[in-house]
Each structure stands twice: as structure tokens, then as C-alpha cells.
Amino acid sequence: MAPQFDESVLLLGNGLSINVWPQFDYGSLFDHAQQGGLTSVDLTLFDGDTNFETVLAGLNTAIRVNDTLGIETAPVYERYRGIQQALGRVIREVHVTRGAVPDRVLEAIRAELAQYEWIFTTSYDLLLYWAMACGGWKPFIDGFRYRNPGTYLEFDPEREVEHDEVPVYFLHGALHLVVNGSGVTWKLRGGDLQTILDQFGDRIEGDPQARPLLVTEGSARDKLRAIEGNSYLAYVLARLRGVNLPVVVFGSRLGKSDEHLIDALNEHPRRAIAISMQRASKREMAMQQSDVYGRLETDDLIFFDAETHPLGDQGLRCGERSSESPPGRQAS
């Protein structure tokens, strides 16, 4: 059974997203984009990397340098826009629409989220965002607010968390977050939340070098490098390191690519950690448990059946896997 603590942190992986919408069960954004949208020149720019954020950030730097030195920026900017548009196309192809998710599903997710003191997620789809907003934002906060009226919502690291608030942080970025040309993280919003998906990957008015904030690498080292290169993501990972409450991990195996999360959890080795597991053979489950045992520094490690947790309830499912959906797991 899923454990219950008086006060705890929820660390979410992609399991919730896949439970709600099975078509999120794809390999990676990069693998999907290679099927169409990225040119041979684009693929050369990735040079063995799989992270759109890293490549777009590098091109953004090249545009600024060329502009400063008086060098033609059009070819670099063309590649920047082409890669950004390819990313937007892939996201729109696999993402569920808001209209396909019943309010009862979002309300159930929201009710469970409200049971935690802190929430961190590696998923970058909009399900969590929609659930937070379903029925009003309180008690959830994300640290974004208007610096100046009429501008974009900007992340404010000085925003204090009140005792009756539940902060929600996106460890690997999210579809509603963008980085402007100066490196500042903004949050998109619209008249209704579905328009955020429609906006994704489009040009930001007044800032053509703005880009989506998504960490899509496969390795922990590359993920950490991308996180440390963005002030919002670095702040969020530092908050995870600093919280010393018991942790419930749902929808993540904490595999080798999540070593930066393991390191953060090990900052407080005395606290309890409960990890959800998908049903599998005894041998497979024993191997997964053994792997985590060897890396997490805690004497109070609990494993539980994911389907016994409210976020693993099969009643949350909104669609079945498409026969055309690529195999694998959603990139985290």
C-alpha cells in the first residue's frame, strides 16, 4: 500500500502522465523529431547530444556574438527557428488536449497534490499545470509573478512560501516555461489554459530569441549541466536538496539518468523515502529495488505498488496507446 506521512514531499516522474494519457509513453523528443522536422544540418548541430535546450541555448549565444561582432546572423537564426519549430511540432503531436482530460480527472489529481508540503516534478507536460489551476490556484504556487504590469510572469526567487501554500517546481522545465533572450525564465499563460499548448514553440512577441525551457538529455551529467545553466532550474534543484521531510517518489524509477535527483535526496539521509513500483516479475522488481538500495543513503526505504497510490488509479486514464505511437518512455 502507498505510505502516508503527516508531512511529506512528492517527487513526480512521468508515471502520472503516462497513467492519464498512454501516448505520453514515447522514447524521447529527439528520437521522435528525427522522424521528420530536423534537417541534416540540424542533426549535425546536436553532435551526439539529445537536448533541444542545450542546442538552442548554444545557437542563441552564437546569434548574440555574431551580432556584436557584425557577422551575419540570418543563417544561425534560421537554424534556431527550424529546431524550435521541430520541437513544437513533436510536442503538439504527442500531447493530450485539455478538452480530452475530464475535469474529474484533474480534480482528483489536484486533491492528491494538496496533501503534500512540497511538489517537485520531472515531467514537462501540462497535466500538472492544468490540475493546479482546476478550480482555482490556491493552495498551489510556482514562484512566478508580474515584475511589471502587462509583462510576462517572471520567476521570483525571493517569493516566500507561506504556511498554507504548496509550492510546485518543475525540475526539468515545462511546456509553459520559456527562457527569454537574456536568460530570464518566464511563464506563458492565456485566456484559457489550452492556448498554452497552441503557443508552444511559437515566436515570443518582442523577443525572437526566446526558447522553450525543457531539459531533454538522456544522461544525468548532461541534465545537470543544463540545469546548472539556468537560474530557475538551478534554484529548483537547490530547493529539492534543502527539503528534509519524508519523500514519496511516484512514477520514477530514479534510474541512472536521475543521479542528480539521487544526490539531492541524499543530502538528508535520515528521512524516509517511499518509491512506487510498477507491477512486474519478482526478478525484475528485485533488480530495480537492489539498484536503488545501492544509491540512496537512507535506512528507511519503502517500496509500494504504484496502483495503490491515488495518482496510479486506473480511473484517471483518458486514452489508450495509439498504434502509431512510438515505443519507449517519455523523456524526463
User: What pLDDT digit, counting tens, does each position of 277-325 carry?
Assistant: 988 898 988 988 888 888 998 889 999 999 999 999 999 998 654 434 4
Q: Indicate the number of domains in the chain.
A: 1
Q: How far apart are CA 266 and CA 274, in angstroms?
A: 14
The b-or-e profile of 30-47 (16+ CB within 10 A means b, else e) is bbbbbeebbeeebeebbe
Considering the domain boundaries, does residue 46 fall inside one?
no
Question: What pLDDT was estimated at residue 27?
Answer: 59
Question: What pLDDT was estimated at residue 20?
Answer: 93
Question: What pLDDT was estimated at residue 49?
Answer: 75
Q: Measuring CA to CA, how many Å separate 322 from each of 93, 127, 319, 330? A: 12, 19, 9, 14
pLDDT single digits (tens) 76-122: 888 877 887 787 777 777 788 888 999 999 999 999 999 999 999 99
Question: What pLDDT was estimated at residue 264?
Answer: 96
Considering the domain boundaries, does residue 170 fall inside one?
yes
Considering the domain boundaries, does residue 136 fall inside one?
yes
Considering the domain boundaries, does residue 157 fall inside one?
yes
pTM assigned to the model: 0.81
Considering the domain boundaries, does residue 16 fall inside one?
yes
Q: Give me the residues of the chain with pLDDT under 50, please.
A: 192-194, 321-332
Question: What pLDDT was estimated at residue 321?
Answer: 46
Question: What pLDDT was estimated at residue 53?
Answer: 67
Domain that holds residue 150: 9-28+100-316
Considering the domain boundaries, does residue 143 fall inside one?
yes
Residue 73 · residue 63 · CB < 8 Å:
yes
Considering the domain boundaries, does residue 234 fall inside one?
yes
